[in-house]
Chain A
Amino acid sequence: MKEKQTLYKYLLRMGDDSLILGQRLSELCGHGPILEEDIALTNISLDLIGQATLLLEYAGELAPEKKTNDELAYLRIEKEYVNALLVEQPNGHFGDTIMRQFLFDAYRKPLLEKLLDSSDKRLAGIAEKALKETKYHLRHSSEWVIRLGDGTEESHNKIQNSLESLLRYAHELFFENEVDELLIAQGIVPSAKSIFPIWEKTLHAVFEEATLSLPKNNWKFQGGREGRHSEHMGYLLAEMQYMQRTYPNMEW
């Protein structure tokens, strides 16, 4: 019973990361910098919404009171969402969007790789599907970080600024508490600590090629994993939940 509740909490984190980042990217559909890239970003958004659908479906089955994935996605209050602050940050300019994506993908990929060995078969199955998508996302975002970093002076400065501002949110991805402890002990999830060096290595390699330098400011924002969000979150939810809140209990 305790284990179920704990896995529920963990699945919410993963599901919310996918959902909120997918929602953010979906805002860009029709507004991308060039048609080909518009299509690419929408693909990533679609993958993330798909992942959220599977993760929240599983979470809903383990919830204290059973819930559907739509109920979890649309009908919680703000402090019940446990996505990292990073993914709720606004799209900003293309460099911000790409940097946010890169910092996330570089964490998500090794996480999913390790989840392939999860003692929870269903979670391992979801990870397997998501990993194929995420490998592509990471390639896409890395290539763009490098292009922008080593492109023009303007693009270099822009993406360097994106890094300065967004890196402060990224460390929260490695948040751990008693939820992790219990699940790690059971072999269900990897420890975030084991992912951190892989993430760092990816960052170093990509930033070197991109001629970007790691910010001196090493401030680490926290709160998302515990339901304390940035001001942006309320607006995002107001928009996403609009239909479900305005027309409760209807089918669409």
Chain B
Amino acid sequence: MSKSKGWPLWEVFIRSKQGLNHKHVGSLRASDATMAIKNARDVYTRRAEGISIWVVPSNNITASDPNNEDSLFEPSQSKVYRHPTFYDVPDGISHM
């Protein structure tokens, strides 16, 4: 990880309050995970934006290829029956 002289890049995820997902907020440099957490605290939560932090080395993230976007995501668009609005509910019935 340290072939270059500089510190590796980390991606930062923050949970802004209990009950919400961690959300990607940006990246930073740090020599190790402990420092990455501390730097994330100082850089991304200066205004009490978070209660929990995840850091992940950027080079450990595998991303889907945007060139395969069509085959990855479009097939699900035609499956409208996965959504409740696909179904007719007779008038007079609420709460379903």
For residue A239, CB closer than 8 A to chain B, the reply is no
By the criterion CB–CB under 8 Å, are A36 and B30 in contact? Answer: yes
- Asked whether B35 lies within 8 Å of A143 as measured between CB atoms, the reply is yes
B31 touches A40 (CB 8 A): no
| Docked complex: A128-143 residues within 8 A CB-CB of B | 139-140, 143
Count of chain A residues with Cβ under 8 Å from any Cβ of B? 11
User: Taking the complex as formed, is B77 at the interface, i.e. its CB lies under 8 A from any CB of chain A?
Assistant: no
Beyond A34-B29, A36-B30, A147-B31, is A140–B43 a contact (Cβ under 8 Å)?
Answer: no
Q: Hey, which chain B residues are within 8 Å of A34, CB to CB?
A: 7, 29
Cβ proximity bits B25-46 to A, threshold 8 Å, 1 near / 0 not: 0001111001100110011001
Q: Bound state CA distance, A39 and B40, in angstroms?
A: 10
The reply to whether the CB of A161 lies closer than 8 angstroms to some CB of chain B is: no
- Complex CA gap A14/B31 in Å reads 34
With beta carbons under 8 angstroms apart, the residue of B7, B28, B31, B42 that contacts A43 is: B42
Interface size class of B (residues with CB under 8 A): 10 to 19
User: Which B residues are CB-close (under 8 A) to A35?
Assistant: 29
**With A140-B38, A143-B34: A39-B43 Cβ-Cβ less than 8 Å:** yes
Cβ–Cβ contact A36 & B31, under 8 A: no
Q: CA–CA, A40 to B37, complex, Å? A: 12
How far does the alpha carbon of A36 sit from the alpha carbon of B46 in the complex, in Å? 13
Q: Chain A's nearest CB lies how many Å from the CB of B14?
A: 16
B43 engages A36 (CB within 8 Å): yes
Chain B nearest CB: distance from A148 CB in Å? 11
Contact B34 A36 (CB under 8 A): no
Q: Is the CB of A40 within 8 A of B29?
A: no
Contact call A40/B34, Cβ cutoff below 8 A: no
For chain B, residues 4 to 55, give those with C-beta under 8 angstroms from any C-beta of chain A: 7, 28-31, 34-35, 38-39, 42-43, 46
Min CB–CB distance A51 → chain B (angstroms)? 18
CA gap between A194 and B29 in the complex, in Å = 40
Residue of A nearest to B31 (CB): A147
Chain B residues near A140 (CB, 8 Å)?
A: 38
Expressed in whole angstroms, the Cα–Cα distance for A37 and B31 within the complex equals 12
In the bound complex, residues from chain A placing their C-beta under 8 Å from that of B42 are: 36, 39-40, 43
12 further A-B contacts with Cβ under 8 Å, apart from A43-B46, A143-B38, are A34-B29, A36-B28, A36-B35, A36-B42, A37-B39, A39-B39, A39-B43, A40-B38, A40-B39, A139-B38, A143-B34, A143-B35
Closest 6 CB pairs of A and B: A36-B39, A39-B42, A40-B42, A43-B42, A39-B43, A36-B28
Q: Can you name 11 A-B residue pairings with CB atoms under 8 Å?
A: A36-B28, A36-B29, A36-B35, A36-B42, A36-B43, A39-B42, A39-B43, A40-B38, A40-B42, A43-B46, A140-B38
